[in-house]
Chain A
Amino acid sequence: MTADMLSAILVSGIVLGSGYALMASGLSLVWSTLGIFNFAHGVLMTLGAYVAWTVSNAAGLDLGLAAGAALAVAALIGAGILLERMVVRPFYGHRDILLISVMTTLAAMIFLQKGIQLLWGARLKQLAPILPGNVPLWRTTISAQEALIMVVAPLLLGALWLFLRRSRIGRGIRAVGQNPDSARLIGIDVSRLFIITFALSAVLAGLTGVLLGSVRLLTPEFGADPLVKALIIVIFGGLGSLGGTIAAAYLMGIVEAALTFYVGIYWTPSMIFLLLIVVLLFRPQGLSGKVVR
C-alpha cells in the first residue's frame, strides 16, 4: 500500500466517521437516558436539512445559511419535544416499552418521511456548501465542506461531552441514565430531562443533516442510510457508552472507506454486515458495551 492510498482511505474514512459519530451519538444519548431506541432519528436529520434548505435557498426564503441552520435547530427542538410527548411519553413504565417504542418511532419516521415528501416533493435538492472550494490535506484533496465536517464534528462532540460532564442539566441526564429511580429520589425532574435529552438528540441529528446536506443530495429518504449505519455503529460500539459509540463511528468510517477501496462500493454493505455477524458471534454485547437485557 502506498502512502497516497493510505491517506486517501484515512481521510475519507475520517470524513465519513465524523458524520456517523454525530448521528450515532444522538441515538446513543437517547438510549442511555430513556432506554428506548429512536428510529425517527434519521428522518429528523432529513427534516433539519430540508428546513435549512427552505430558509437558505434562493428558491425558498433566501435568508442565508446561518439563518437556515438556526431555524433548523429551532424546528428540531420543537420536533424532538413533540415526538417525545406523542410517541414515547405515553408508554413510560410499560413493561414492553422497548418494543413499543421501536414501533411508535418507526411509525413517526414513516409519518415524517411521507410528510416531507408531500410538503417538499420528491425532487432532489442540495444545500449550498458553507465553505466553497477544495482543501489539500496530506497527499489528497477534499472539498472544504468535508474538511469543515471533519472539524465541526469533534467540536460538537466535545461540547456535548463537556455539557454532560460539567453542566447541572448534563449531570442530571447522566444520573437519570444510570438509575432513574434514585435520580427522582434526590429531586431530579426526570421527565423534564427526558424532554431535554430528546430535543438535544434531535438537534444533533438536524445539525448532521445541515452539514451533510451539501455533500449529498437531499431526498425524503436522505436520513435512511445514515440511520442504518448508525444502527450498525451502536451495535459495534455497545449501546449506552458515548465514548464507545464515537470510537466505533470513526472506526466504521475508516473500515467502510477501506472496503470501498478494496472490494468496491457494491459489496461494501455486505462485507460490513458479515463483519457485524462475526463480531456479534464472539461479543454479543458489542466491542465495548455491557450486556444489555
Chain B
Amino acid sequence: MASLRNGKAWLLGILLVAGLVVPILVEDTYLRHLFIISFVYGIVAASWDLTLGYAGIFNFAHIAFFGVGIYATALAAKLLGIDPWIAMLIGGIAASAAAAIVALPIVRLQGVYVVLVTFAFSQLVFQLVISQSQVTGGTNGIVRIPTLSMPGHNFLRDYKLGYYYVAFALLVAATVCLRLLVRSDFGLSIKALRDNEDYGVSRGIPIARQRLKALVASAFFTGVAGGFYVIYLRVASPEIFDFSTASLVLSMVLVGGTSSIYGPIVAALVLTFISEGLANINNFAEGRFMLVSVAMIVVLLFFPKGLASVLPAALARRHEKRDRESRNWKGTRVVPNDQKNGTALPPISLDRST
C-alpha cells in the first residue's frame, strides 16, 4: 500500500513537470489553445465533483456558477475598468455569492428538490443575462474584453505561452486546494453526511453549514476559472448556459469518476481534445454532443465509478485476490460504502409509500 502511495506521488510529480514542459515542446497555437481550454474545464469539472461526488449535493447549477464568474469578470474588466487579474478574482467571489443564494433554500431540501431548484436557478441566470441586454449584451454577449497584462510580457504576441502558464497555475492551485479540502476534517464531514446523513447529524455535524461551505468553495474555483476563460477568449457569450455545456462537463465528471479530484481533470483533458477534434469534422459541431450524451449513458451503465477507475479497480481486485489466498480471507472486511456499491453517490431511499 505504501509503495502504491509513493507511486502516486511520483506520477503527480511527472505530470506536473510534463505540464510545465508541454508548451516548450508544443509550438502549435491551436494545440496550446486546446490545452488551455481543457485546463479550464478541468477546474470546473473537479470542483463540481466537490459538491456532486464528495458532498453528495445534487447540484446542477454548476455551469451557472461558471457563467456568473464569466459575466462578473467580463463586466468588471470592461465596464468598471478593473485590472483583469483582479477581475478574475471578482469572478470567483461573484460565483461564490451566487452559490450562497442557491444554498439558502437547498441546504434544507432533499434529493430531487435540490435538482429542481438548481436547474431552475441556472435557467434564471440565463434569462437574466438575456433580458438585461443593455448591460450584458443579451444574445450578442460582451466582446473585446481587456486582456491580461504584465510588465515586460505581451500576452497577445507570445503564441498563447503566457495564457498556457496562467491556466496551468490556476489548475494546479485549484487541484491542491480541492485535495486539501477533501482530505481535511471538513472533507471528512461532508463525506460522512453523504454516506449516512442521519448518523452524521447525530454526531454533531452541522449539515446546513457544511453544505453551504461546500457549495461556496466549489463555486469559487469555478468562478475564477470562468473569469480566466472570458479574459482569455475576450468574449462572453450566453451560449455557455446551454444544456449541452452542462452535459459536456458532467460527462467529464462521470468519465473521470465521482469522488476523485484527479479523475475529472484527466477526463477533461481527454474529452476536450476528442470533442474539439470532432467539432472540426464537417457539420459535426452539434453531432458531437450526441456522442457525448451516448458516452454518458454508456459510462453510467458499465463503469459507474468512471472510466478512470477501471485500471485501479482491476489492480485492487488482483490485490484482494492475493490477500484472500494468503490470509484465508473470511469476507468480513469493512468496505466504505462508496466502494462496496460500485459508486460514490449518496444513498436515496426509494420508499415513497408514506
The number of inter-chain residue pairs (CB within 8 angstroms) is 149
Interface size class of A (residues with CB under 8 A): 35 or more
Give residues of chain A (105-125) contacting chain B, Cβ–Cβ below 8 Å: 106-111, 113-115, 117-118
Whether A111 contacts B290 in the complex (CB less than 8 A), given A228-B119, A235-B113, A284-B109, comes out as: yes
Task: Give the contact stretch, choosing among A158-166, A185-193, A268-276.
Answer: A268-276
| Chain A 1-38 interface 0/1 with B at a Cβ cutoff of 8 Å (1 = within) | 00000000000000000000000000000011001010
B120 contacts the other chain (Cβ, under 8 Å)? yes
Task: Assess the B352–A177 pair: CB atoms within 8 A.
Answer: yes
Report the Cα distance A89→B127, complex, angstroms: 34
Q: For A224, what are the chain B residues with a Cβ–Cβ distance below 8 Å? A: 243
The answer, among B115, B127, B343, for a CB contact under 8 Å with A269, is B127
Question: Smallest distance from the beta carbon of A235 to chain B beta carbons, Å?
Answer: 5
Task: Assess the A179–B353 pair: CB atoms within 8 A.
Answer: yes
Task: Give the contact stretch, choosing among B144-152, B174-182, B292-300.
Answer: B292-300
Q: For A108, what are the chain B residues with a Cβ–Cβ distance below 8 Å? A: 293, 297
| Chain A 195-207 interface 0/1 with B at a Cβ cutoff of 8 Å (1 = within) | 0000000000000
Task: Assess the A96–B347 pair: CB atoms within 8 A.
Answer: yes
Whether A98 contacts B111 in the complex (CB less than 8 A), given A103-B250, A270-B128, comes out as: yes
Q: How many residues of B contact A (CB 8 A)?
A: 51
Whether A107 contacts B127 in the complex (CB less than 8 A), given A98-B112, A114-B289, comes out as: no
- Majority secondary structure, A binding face: helix
Give residues of chain A (82-112) contacting chain B, Cβ–Cβ below 8 Å: 86-87, 90-91, 95-100, 102-104, 106-111
B110 contacts the other chain (Cβ, under 8 Å)? yes
The answer, among B113, B293, B343, for a CB contact under 8 Å with A284, is B113
Question: Smallest distance from the beta carbon of A55 to chain B beta carbons, Å?
Answer: 24
Q: For A111, what are the chain B residues with a Cβ–Cβ distance below 8 Å? A: 289-290, 293-294
Known: A96-B348, A100-B345, A103-B250. 19 other contacts (CB 8 A): A96-B345, A96-B346, A103-B300, A104-B300, A106-B243, A106-B250, A107-B247, A107-B296, A110-B247, A110-B293, A111-B294, A114-B290, A178-B353, A228-B123, A232-B120, A235-B113, A239-B112, A284-B110, A292-B112
